[in-house]
Structure 1
Amino acid sequence: MRTEVFLSELAQKQAGILRGPDLKALDAFIRDLEARGCAALGYRLTGDVPVSRLCVKHLRNAGRAVVAFEEPGRAWVLLIGAHDERDRARDVYAALWKVCGLEAPPSGRRTKPACCDDDGADPLSPEVDDLVTRCRDLARPVRRRR
């Protein structure tokens, strides 16, 4: 079954700054996600919902894509960016915790289970609408009142 892939407003903005090999890696990933669904992703994150329903793909070097499945055959790329713990302002995971409404990363042992369930099903997240809205809010500049 083919997967419809959508990019959040924030992911669109992040993809817009990619060039050369980084952009090619993202394009190849999106084509693979469309063709293979959750099997195109590397692993699922651990923590409480909604974090535990999100999947990650390593793109190129430190590049990551964070994906949520709204329903079977319908995926949202929420975030695209580098994993860089030295620069929290640019770290894709720091942005992810904001999108999930967390002040800090989930505590506890981190495992990296497969994105697909044992039966090959996508890890559905009923919180996708809220996550996409939060991504949109992060993508838009803060307007100051005069």
Structure 2
Amino acid sequence: MINVTAVFDIGKTNKKFFLFDSDYKEVYKEYISFDEIQDEDGHPTENLKALQEWLKKVFQNILEASEYNIQAINFSTYGASFVHLDENGEVLTPLYNYTKQIDKCIVNEFVEKYGPREDFLKTTGCFDLSLLNSGLQLYWIKHTKPEIFKK
């Protein structure tokens, strides 16, 4: 049995799973892609249901494989990718695509409160004020979807 580190790399286009041995040599890989679906505003978004099913299936298959012994697991995702969950771990929102446009009023309020703009961008390492900035994404949800933010 080979001791391995499992890595899920969730890219915008391709989803990847790797196993690396103790010398960081790749011993297994699997790739898949999913068609995007639409969020509540009709903007393209990740198909979370398909992604969750794939993650569980791949991981279960590796757990059941007699040749691998998982020692660690790592996840990486593309730009500001996070899903808002309730206290029970249930999904509250889509995985909002960082290309989704948000109301300029929200951005202006955000800059007024946390700016100046250039200082904020420099501090956060984000090149613009869009949903690519997770702080702004939380602010946007707080002010446009307060019932979800409370959860």
Q: Same fold (TM over 0.5)?
A: no
Q: What interval of TM-score do these two structures reach, taking the shorter chain for normalisation? A: under 0.3
- Name the TM-score, length of structure 1 as normaliser: 0.26
Q: Which has the larger radius of gyration?
A: 2
> Relative contact order (alpha carbons < 8 A, sep ≥ 6): 1 or 2 greater?
1
